[in-house]
């Protein structure tokens, strides 16, 4: 492409609305423009990058044996009512009515639709396994759209769905997708890690997220530096380091006038917050639930809901406390007769702790489980924190931040059972399909690549996803010789199948350099005064390495560099 003919509206200033680097650079490099909160246009440069990323994804999906299809964004409510998610999804789903008053949504994901297709079209075990995928826009009315396309309300996802005879088959299909995802991210030049994750509204038992490691990431990951364990903080498990070897003391009631928060009580009694046990009262579909957790830890509602198989879980509102004779700030496990009590596993190790006395301005000290009160069960109900140990190898866990770019799930029979999607097995019996689903955020991936690959001058695209692999920069606009030579390079390199941007604009060398660096083309051919001695310069954007070579060698050299760099990224086709 000739630069003069292409719409690349670069900006000098950093746009004030952009908080993270990728968002700033996507605006500045003329890749995207905002239409509404969380809704973006991809300008020509952006569109080219998207196509490159999509091509990598497509190749790896096809290589894994998955087949591409294309489902609509507009989906009838009936399918979602069958799975039960029309009610569950909440305000993140964009709902609308057609002219006849029928309910529809703009698909936030496609489990229902794919299950509908497969239950109609696939009847026999002989047609299994099968994995289907699409690359298509998704709609989610995010509560807080931000960071540009990173958390958008309309975004592009590659979603795939596998259908198997049984759990064994599912594991094989899942592993194929897992491997394909690893290859995709490697080819995009990313440093990433797969971590255990919670399945959320999508459902199923096992799921893993692919995290691109970045300081700006919204997700927190805990990992063990010794074994392979890594998990999203939503789910990460650890063990309390300190085990108190204390003799059990008799429980005693203490006046704590006006001291209700953990901090106030701990200060007042001159103990650490870890000496207290908080009693949190939740409202659930199975009635009230009391959860005991150490004073220095935060409750993890994902874990609580998963462990106790709860759909609804809300902290009891303070105005409802009196209904159950509860006193805000002084709730404790002793005397809570009508409330089911469970405790975080860390509480099991605690001795002589402090709890609320269920009476205003009073706490019990020296409380002990099984002596002063009982709980129905223990499990992991809290978030891990720094200082916790890996449950496998007892080494301290470490923390890092990541951007979730992909998520793979072993769904099992959740959708096939709810939507009566059956096939007939070898014996002719009807069985529900065993499903998996797999998503990669294509547009989020673009932002994640920039987060990991940029410098103060702009983006540094890996060769595999760059909108153009090479930019040709003739520095003197009035030199016919430079112009001719540029055009020769341009045509010869394009003929080799390389992607070239030829900066034919009548602007100063400074502007050309700044734009080339900003939009991040990985290889630059700089044609300057030395052309009359037959010499030109080539520069690698990433390392800033420059070499002067004979103009006659440019085409060969550039081709070699592009091929070598693509091979480094694990691209065999390049």
| Residues near ligand ATP, by CB under 6 A | 109, 140, 142, 151-152, 155, 157, 200, 202, 404-407, 439, 441, 443-444
Q: 129 preceded by cis ω (within 30°)?
A: yes
DSSP state of 192: E
d(CA 32, CA 431): 47
Question: Do the Cβ atoms of 128 and 118 come closer than 8 Å?
Answer: no
Nearest residue (CB) to ligand ATP, 439 versus 522: 439
- Concatenated DSSP letters of 353-388: EEEE-SSTTEEEEEE-BTTTB--SEEE--B---TTP
| Shortest CB 168 distance to ligand ATP, Å | 24
Nearest residue (CB) to ligand ATP, 344 versus 451: 451
Nearest residue (CB) to ligand ATP, 40 versus 163: 40
Nearest residue (CB) to ligand ATP, 110 versus 539: 110
| Shortest CB 85 distance to ligand ATP, Å | 12
Q: CA angle at residue 201 from 293 to 310, to 5 degrees? A: 40
- Concatenated DSSP letters of 204-217: -SEEEEEEEE-TT-
| Shortest CB 110 distance to ligand ATP, Å | 11
Question: Do the Cβ atoms of 412 and 111 come closer than 8 Å?
Answer: no
Host H or E run for residue 130 = strand 130-139
481 vs 110, 478, 493, 526, 548, CA distance in Å? 57, 9, 18, 14, 18
Question: Do the Cβ atoms of 364 and 372 come closer than 8 Å?
Answer: yes
Nearest residue (CB) to ligand ATP, 109 versus 367: 109
Nearest residue (CB) to ligand ATP, 89 versus 378: 89
- 215: which residues sit within 8 A by CB, 6+ positions away? 401
| Shortest CB 338 distance to ligand ATP, Å | 36
| Shortest CB 414 distance to ligand ATP, Å | 15
| Shortest CB 139 distance to ligand ATP, Å | 9
| Shortest CB 460 distance to ligand ATP, Å | 22
Nearest residue (CB) to ligand ATP, 206 versus 483: 206
| Shortest CB 8 distance to ligand ATP, Å | 24
- Concatenated DSSP letters of 428-490: S-EEEPEEEEEEEEHHHHHHHHHHHSEETTEE---TTT-S-SEEEEES-TT-HHHHHHHHHHH
Query: Cβ-closest residue to ligand ATP?
Result: 441
Nearest residue (CB) to ligand ATP, 408 versus 531: 408
Helix 167-187 and helix 44-63: axis angle, to 10°? Answer: 140
| Shortest CB 438 distance to ligand ATP, Å | 9
Report the half-sphere exposure of 350 (CA within 13 A, side-chain side): 28
Nearest residue (CB) to ligand ATP, 22 versus 279: 22
367 vs 248, 275, 551, CA distance in Å? 9, 10, 83
Nearest residue (CB) to ligand ATP, 85 versus 539: 85
Q: Which residues pair with 523 in a beta bridge?
A: 470, 540
| Shortest CB 194 distance to ligand ATP, Å | 12
């Amino acid at each position: 492409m000739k630069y003069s003919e292409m719409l690349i509206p670069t900006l000098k200033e950093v746009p004030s609305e952009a908080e993270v680097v990728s968002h700033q650079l996507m605006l500045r490099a003329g890749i995207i423009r905002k239409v509404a909160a969380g809704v973006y246009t991809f300008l020509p440069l952006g569109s080219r990058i998207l196509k490159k990323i999509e091509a990598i994804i497509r190749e790896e999906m096809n290589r894994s044996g998955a087949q591409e299809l294309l489902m609509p964004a507009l989906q009838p409510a009936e399918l979602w009512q069958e799975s039960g998610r029309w009610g569950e999804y909440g305000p993140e789903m964009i709902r609308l009515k057609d002219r006849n008053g029928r309910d529809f949504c703009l698909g936030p994901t496609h489990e229902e639709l794919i299950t509908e297709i497969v239950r109609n079209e696939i009847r026999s075990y002989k047609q299994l396994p099968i994995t289907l995928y699409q690359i298509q826009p998704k709609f989610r009315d995010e509560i807080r759209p931000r960071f540009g396309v990173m958390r958008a309300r309309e975004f592009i996802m590659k979603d795939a769905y596998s259908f198997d005879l049984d759990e064994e088959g599912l594991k094989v299909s899942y592993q194929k997708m897992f491997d394909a995802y690893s290859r995709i991210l490697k080819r995009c030049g990313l440093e990433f890690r797969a971590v255990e994750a919670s399945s959320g509204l999508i459902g199923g038992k096992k799921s893993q997220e692919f995290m691109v490691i970045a300081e700006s990431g919204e997700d927190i990951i805990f990992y063990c530096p010794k074994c392979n364990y890594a998990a999203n903080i939503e789910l990460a498990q650890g063990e309390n380091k300190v085990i108190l070897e204390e003799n059990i003391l008799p429980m005693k009631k203490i006046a704590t006038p006006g001291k209700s928060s953990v901090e106030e009580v701990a200060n007042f009694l001159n103990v650490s917050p870890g000496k207290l046990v908080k009693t949190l009262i939740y409202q659930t579909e199975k009635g009230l639930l009391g959860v005991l957790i150490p004073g220095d830890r935060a409750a993890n509602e994902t874990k609580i809901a998963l462990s106790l198989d709860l759909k609804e879980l809300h902290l009891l509102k303070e105005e409802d406390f009196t209904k159950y004779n509860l006193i805000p700030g002084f709730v404790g496990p002793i005397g809570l007769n009508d409330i089911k009590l469970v405790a975080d596993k860390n509480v099991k190790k605690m001795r002589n702790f402090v709890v609320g006395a269920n009476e205003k301005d009073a706490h019990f000290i020296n409380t002990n489980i099984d002596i002063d009160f009982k709980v129905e069960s223990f499990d992991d109900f809290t978030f891990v924190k720094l200082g916790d140990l890996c449950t496998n190898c007892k080494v301290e866990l470490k923390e890092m931040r990541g951007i979730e770019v992909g998520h793979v799930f072993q769904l099992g029979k959740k959708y096939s059972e709810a939507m009566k999607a059956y096939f007939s097995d070898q014996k002719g019996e009807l069985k529900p399909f065993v499903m998996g689903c797999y998503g990669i955020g294509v547009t989020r991936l673009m932002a994640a690549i920039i987060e990991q690959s940029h410098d103060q001058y702009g983006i540094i695209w890996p060769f595999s996803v760059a909108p153009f692999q090479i930019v040709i920069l003739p520095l003197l606009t009035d030199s016919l010789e430079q112009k001719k030579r540029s055009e020769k390079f341009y045509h010869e390199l394009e003929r080799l199948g390389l992607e070239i941007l030829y900066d034919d604009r009548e602007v100063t060398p400074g502007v050309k350099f700044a734009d080339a660096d900003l939009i991040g083309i990985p290889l630059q051919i700089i044609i300057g005064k030395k052309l009359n001695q037959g010499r030109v310069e080539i520069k690698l954007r990433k390392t800033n390495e420059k070499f002067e070579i004979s103009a006659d060698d440019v085409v060969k050299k550039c081709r070699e560099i592009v091929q070598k760099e693509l091979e480094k990224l694990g691209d065999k086709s390049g």
